[in-house]
Structure 1
Amino acid sequence: MQLSKAEEQLMQLLWKQKRAFMKDLIDASPEPKPASTTVATLLKRMQDKGFVDYVQEGRSREYFPLIKKKDYFSKQVNGMIKSFFNDDTAQFASFFTQETNLSKKELEELRMIIDSEIKKKK
Structure 2
Amino acid sequence: MKLSPTEEELMNHLWKLKKAFMKDLLEEYSDPKPAATTISTLLKRMQDKEFVAYTSKGKSREYYPLVSKENYFSKHMKGLIKNFFNDSPAQFASFFTKKAEFTEAELEELREIIDGKLNKKK
TM-score tier by shorter-chain length is over 0.9
Unpaired stretches in structure 1, ≥5 consecutive residues: none
Match of 1:116 in 2: 116
SS of the equivalent of 2:86 reads coil
- 1:28 maps to which residue? 28
Letter in 2 for 1:113: I
Shift of 1:116: 0.5
Q: TM-score, normalised by structure 2?
A: 0.99
**Structure 2: distance between partners of 1:103 and 1:61:** 46
**TM-score, reference length from structure 1:** 0.99
Match of 1:19 in 2: 19
SS at match of 1:101: coil
Work out the percentage of aligned pairs sharing the same amino acid. 61
Deviations 1:22-47 (A, max 9, x none): 11000111221000000000000000
Cα distance in 2 for partners of 1:31, 1:48 equals 28
- Describe the superposition over 1:90-113 as per-residue Cα deviations: whole angstroms up to 9, x where unpaired: 100000000001100000000000
Kindly tell me the number of residue pairs found equivalent between the two proteins: 122
Q: Could you say which residue in structure 2 is the equivalent of 1:89?
A: 89
Q: Which consecutive unaligned segments of at least 5 residues does structure 2 have? A: none
Alpha-carbon displacement from aligned partner over 1:56-92 (angstroms, at most 9, x marks no partner): 1111100000000000010111110000101011100
In 2, Cα distance between the equivalents of 1:103 and 1:31?
Answer: 35
Quick one: distance in 2 between partners of 1:78 and 1:30? 32
2:30 and 2:99 map into 1 onto residues whose CA distance is 29
Q: Secondary structure at the match of 1:20?
A: coil
Instruction: Note the aligned Cα RMSD (angstroms).
Output: 0.5
Tell whether 2:102 aligns with 1:106.
no
Correspondence for 1:40: 40
